[in-house]
Structure 1
Amino acid sequence: MLIRFAVTNLLSFKERVEFTMIASSERIHPHHVYRTASRNHPNLVRAAVVYGANSAGKSNFVQAIKTLRQMVVRTWSPETLLPIKRFKLNPSYIQIPSEFEIEFRTQGINYLYSVSATPNVILQERLATTTNSGEKLLFHRTTDSDRKVSVEWGRSFEQIPSKDKQFLDFVCQGTRPNQLFLRESIERNMDYFRDPYMWFRKSLSIIEPTATYRALESRLETDEAFRNFLARVMNVAGTGITDIQMHDVDIHAVEDLPQTILEEIRENMTSDRSVSLRNNLGLRLFITQGADELRAAKLMTIHRDQESATEVSFDINEESDGTQRLFDLVPMLYDLMAEDKQESVYIVDEIGRSLHPHLTGLIFNLHLDEAYRNQSSQLIATTHETNLLDLSSLRRDEIWFVEKRNDGSSDLYSLVDFQPRYDKDVQHDYLLGRYGGIPFIGNVHRLRLPTSKHQEV
């Protein structure tokens, strides 16, 4: 689970800003809080929404977390620049490294991981375990201006065999300047830091506004419980869909599917592989290896004819943009609610894109249902959907704002800072600008085009 995240000098964040999921002392909606058995670990809220005007920095908040995740999970070739984009509206900040700090919980242990980097080099990388009483260092790697690497190991590594310690030193000091040691240790088959690495790779998921869920067709083909859940959500959401099916099709008859792509799939396909893809018309296909030829199935939605009560099949591209968006978000909801799925953290940029406000609310309501209070899963989303700004639905510590400062940088803060009463109309006050995070419209009369009567000669 995410505990907190801080970033400095990245994109529109010039000064350090910090986002936290640590629960405050307020008592409303106690089932929104994941409570730990140990007093050494903080209780965490299971959801958060981030509001802000266009270009205020909401998407940059998501991109900042995505940047750190990319740096951790990817292997970077020596000549590749890291995806570090520093604050550009102050020339002095172009020379200052970007800094990340993230604290998270996985497998019952809290980790604090910090990185300082430029596009060319990792200047500092530090991993520690934490409790409410302090932290214990695991490793601290630094690179000086001459690209010389030094490393400090925590006390727990004083007990390992000297041969293993020498190998750790060798790998850490031999890690490329633009590569994180956390990733390099996994490449070298070390298990010391596998749990924190796997949190970035498996538990942390980021969904951007135009992202599609690539494994949808595969899960529909192989997971009946998931297919039934998807159909139920579509029905409850009022889409008119009563069922979801995969229909076999002749792969050669699929329109707008280039032969070159088919040949590439055919060359790389094996009996234990599958491929999900979309053609340019929006059809979603699931391709496997048949006995003699590639087998293709396409995603179909089922509606019911009201007069004859017969079932009518629709291609997915015949559904509305909002329905198609819902198809890509429901797998996230399924994972957040699944009892056997642990430590899921989903961060969604513009969760309400193409969705009716009631559907955005439905996603949060299902995730935060009291029946799932013990699920170690979190949903964090940026949005403009103000219907969620209601203290009967969310806690104050679950509502955040991003606002553009006068110097063009972004600030990030919580509704907790304002301490509104529980009976306050938070949505109304937000739209009035009392919490910031809204656009301030200038003189609209200046936008009027001149008429011929008033045009200057």
Structure 2
Amino acid sequence: MLCQFTVKNFKSIRDEMTFDMQAAAIAEHEDRVIKDKDGEFYLPVSAIYGPNGGGKSNVLESLQILAAKILRPLYATDDNHNHPFQMKKIVIEPFAFDIMGKRNPTEFELFFRTELAEYRYVLAVKKDVVVYESLDRVKLDTGRRSALFRRSYEGKELKGVFAKLKISEDISETLPLLSYLGITYKKNEIVKDVLDWFESGIAFLNYGNPLQEMRMADANSEGIKKLVLEMIQEMDLDIVDFRVEEKENDKLEIFTKHRVGEYETELNLSEESSGTKKLFGLLPFITASLLDGTTLMIDELDAKLHPVLLRHIIMLFNNMEINRSGAQLIFTSHDLSTMNNEVFRRDEIWFVAKGNSQNSKLYSLVEFKNDKGESVRKDAKFDKQYLEGKYGADPYLRKIRDWGRINA
């Protein structure tokens, strides 16, 4: 489970920016939150809105780049060449519009939870060189806090349960210590717990990735087929079934069965509309997230999707009877049909826009206040007020309106 993520000096993100999945203490949709074993509450859904070029995608990409920085060295040591982070060059780009951005490191701070513990991981990188790194843990059953390691220019120190582990003195300056521990002590329970979350606890969906088609192999399961067909019914399409066929060189092809009256025919997925193609690309990830309780991050989820289907997907995660494993859906969107108090809590709606220095600003609807210091009412017309520019992130302008209204 993702708890909180902070990034600074990455692409359009100049100042420290925090994205928080902890549920605020507000009296709305209180049945739509994830309650963890220690009584803490977290959000199952968050949507990020804003104009094109405002920096929405950079919020998601910053967390993806952090995961890639950690996992790619591990993947380089195994024989599986299909890992997504092996297929993409990792470039950590600092803020480009002032001299200090290039001089300073890019900083990440991440809080996440597994079944065993909550972890805080910090990484600062400058030109691919690790300048600072730390890992801390809180055990969920006892609440006991402990530091696990620290790394800086002054040296590396393993602490607590890691104190007995041995590390080389000549670790590459570009290799995260967490990655080194994963390579050297991959059977260690805590090391495995942390890296399993980065590898399997969070997923990033990027269209056009050849690995996306490979995931469709899962669609042969009855659970996924049932969910696919339920969503298709929401769209009122005439698809009544589908099948996945494995071709040469492990290539997969998907065939959809249509019924019009008493007549049935089968089409290759390549012949379907772009919306139907996207639907079939989405479903394996959505189903896996709901079943396994993972965090799923999707850029422009609403693109090429019918608004009814978009709402249906959101409500799958919001329904705690369906979302029993504590899955989370985080996405960027331009769709306003779902920006209302029936679909979202105020702490689930986020905005991104750019300031005069081309720096992105991130803030949630629940923390937004007008010039009188008043918060947005829970029964407000979110979509209408957003279109009027009352929340600062004007959907049609790249720069932010009424910058002073947004709390620092």
Q: TM-score, normalised by structure 2?
A: 0.86
- Pairing partner for 1:244 from 242, 260, 266: 242
Please say if residues 136 and 147 of structure 2, whose CA atoms lie closer than 8 Å, have aligned partners that are also in contact.
yes
- Pairing partner for 2:260 from 305, 311, 315: 305
Distance in 2 between the 1:170 and 1:332 partners? Answer: 37
Please say if residues 82 and 120 of structure 1, whose CA atoms lie closer than 8 Å, have aligned partners that are also in contact.
no
Aligned to 1:37: 37
CA deviation string 1:58-107 (max 9, x = no partner):
01111101110100110188xx9852101010022101100000000012
Aligned to 1:124: 132
Please say if residues 122 and 143 of structure 1, whose CA atoms lie closer than 8 Å, have aligned partners that are also in contact.
no
Letter in 2 for 1:183: S
- Pairing partner for 2:306 from 325, 348, 356: 356
> Structure 1: where are the runs of 5+ without partners?
145-149, 159-164, 252-264, 266-274, 277-285, 287-297, 443-457
Distance in 1 between the 2:334 and 2:354 partners? Answer: 16
> Structure 2: where are the runs of 5+ without partners?
77-87, 369-374, 399-408
How many residues of Structure 1 are paired with residues of Structure 2 in the alignment? 375
Aligned to 2:377: 421
> Is 1:151 aligned to 2:156, yes or no?
yes
- Report deviation, 1:205: 0.3
Please say if residues 218 and 284 of structure 2, whose CA atoms lie closer than 8 Å, have aligned partners that are also in contact.
no
Aligned to 2:25: 25
Aligned to 2:231: 233
Distance in 1 between the 2:95 and 2:28 partners? Answer: 38
Please say if residues 67 and 198 of structure 2, whose CA atoms lie closer than 8 Å, have aligned partners that are also in contact.
yes
Secondary structure of the residue that 1:347 maps to in structure 2? strand
Secondary structure of the residue that 2:31 maps to in structure 1? helix
- Report deviation, 1:131: 7.5
CA deviation string 1:276-313 (max 9, x = no partner):
3xxxxxxxxx2xxxxxxxxxxx311000132xx13111
Which 4+ stretches in 1 moved above 4 angstroms? 131-135, 209-212, 439-442
- Pairing partner for 1:196 from 187, 194, 197: 194
- Pairing partner for 2:152 from 135, 139, 142: 142
Q: TM-score, normalised by structure 1?
A: 0.77
Which stretch has the larger CA shift, 366-375 or 58-67? 366-375
Please say if residues 256 and 268 of structure 2, whose CA atoms lie closer than 8 Å, have aligned partners that are also in contact.
yes
Aligned to 1:57: 55
Aligned CA distance change for structure 1 residues 388 and 135 (closer, same or farther; 3 Å): farther
- Pairing partner for 1:329 from 282, 285, 290: 282
Please say if residues 333 and 367 of structure 1, whose CA atoms lie closer than 8 Å, have aligned partners that are also in contact.
no
- Report deviation, 1:247: 5.3
Determine which structure has more spread, i.e. the larger CA radius of gyration.
1
Q: CA RMSD in A?
A: 2.4
Distance in 2 between the 1:229 and 1:424 partners? Answer: 33
Please say if residues 317 and 323 of structure 2, whose CA atoms lie closer than 8 Å, have aligned partners that are also in contact.
no
Aligned to 1:147: none
Secondary structure of the residue that 2:151 maps to in structure 1? strand
